[in-house]
Chain A
């Protein structure tokens, strides 16, 4: 088991998400930064869906109760293993009694802890991703235990990824959304030639951007939304839906950002800037 000594700001178990229940209104959920999620599981030679721990802004303190291998990625949060600094994108052997802790947030916003063969928390409706009301809680609390399997024998084929992270990227690439054509020239100019700052309202459900691009009075019937859908509110603000985003909405869906752009945005916090490019 992994024992959560201190949970940090918002720490949760996430995998590749819950598929097949959107028609009942159940969001996909899953790791916000899918790029890092995939890379860490590859480094540990895990199944591509193996569950990881997602760590937001302020990291937890975690105790390993069995031997295994881990890899960290995503945001840089001054992580230490038994008080020795450890790096992202590298395999580490951990022993029973080892303590992983986090310090200052240096870059990015969401860090990931992947483990050999994945965390083994309870799967509900085909996924371990924490999301209320599918799981009882949406994040790990102090003293929580997360199961994993002992592994003494893993011999990694690669011990380290020389890999570009996306933490400093600010350009979000987007396809036109279903209601793209409702935008007028002034709004188009505001979207593609200006920078946006991330609003206080940002979480696993959605990121709101501060700058308005012009009001509208378009009314449409409720229709499906996806992670990465950019909605335009009547006040002219952009809301980008993320992994826990609602499955339907009534605001015009003006853009659909790419999977890579979702990973980039997942590493942004209040006040950071991004710009948008049309594909």
Chain B
């Protein structure tokens, strides 16, 4: 696997930020995740957390102060050795989305703006495979890359005070799911019937940065059935092992 020039910066006294070239690129994400995998063998998971996102990896120490210069040298050494570890097994998660207009409340406006009929928008959205470049903003909120260029629409001029749980949105080059009800400025095109974040599970979210997502359209009836299954806790999530 290719190596990139990386930069380390102190981030307060309990954290250190490692940055890769400032680009959204699959090879960069893979390199970050392999480094994270190697670090998770070198550093005590009860004392360290790792937050990967796009072109960066942040290492956070629970209590202790990090001695930056010493630690930086150690990190660079580990970076040069990281090929020794096998990358984590990644998955493609297939997530059901109901694109009914009751859920896809912004579909008519997007169709008008893009001059693409609604069924075509849905087909394009469900056709691509998206990569999870980060998880944040809300618990379980995925930053997905890979949206078709023709579907790019700006964020809404005025954010909504309330976007419902499960809402599937698009803004700029991004698409994603609101895992909880929250305020939000993305254009809403549907609703995912499977809970993305569940605090009663450990880990609370089945997705991990580096995994992939594909959406598939479901009818309103299937959506309702999934919701009932979800309430009794028997929903099944389709996952496919990805080759490393």
Measured CB to CB, the residues of A under 8 A from B are 19-27, 124-125, 132-135, 175-178, 220-226, 228-229, 246-249, 253, 256, 258
Contacts and interface: CB of A to CB of B under 8 A. Distances in A.
B11 A256 contact: yes
B17 interface: yes
B12 A224 contact: no
Contacts of A224: 11, 15, 17, 51, 53, 56, 58, 60, 136
Contact of A226 (B55, B60, B203): B60
Contact of A221 (B24, B50, B140): B24
A246 B62 CA distance: 17
7 contacts: A19-B62, A133-B180, A133-B197, A178-B19, A224-B53, A224-B136, A253-B11
B15 A133 contact: no
Nearest to B201: A125
Nearest to A136: B199
A221 B51 contact: no
Interface stretch (B72-80, B102-110, B204-212, B222-230): B204-212
The SS class assigned to the A binding surface is: loop
B53 A221 contact: yes
A246 B137 CA distance: 5
B35 interface: no
Given A24-B204, A221-B24, A134 B13 contact: no
Nearest to B206: A24
B136 A249 contact: yes
Nearest to A24: B205
Nearest to B180: A133
B143 A222 contact: yes
Given A21-B204, A23-B50, A178 B17 contact: yes
Contacts of A258: 12-13
Nearest to B24: A221
Given A133-B139, A224-B53, A256-B12, 15 more contacts: A19-B46, A20-B45, A22-B49, A23-B51, A24-B139, A24-B203, A24-B205, A25-B136, A175-B10, A176-B10, A221-B53, A222-B54, A226-B14, A226-B58, A228-B12
B54 A221 contact: yes
B164 interface: no
B88 to A, nearest CB: 12
Nearest to B142: A25
Contacts of A19: 46, 49, 62
Contact of B136 (A247, A253, A256): A247
A25 B12 contact: no
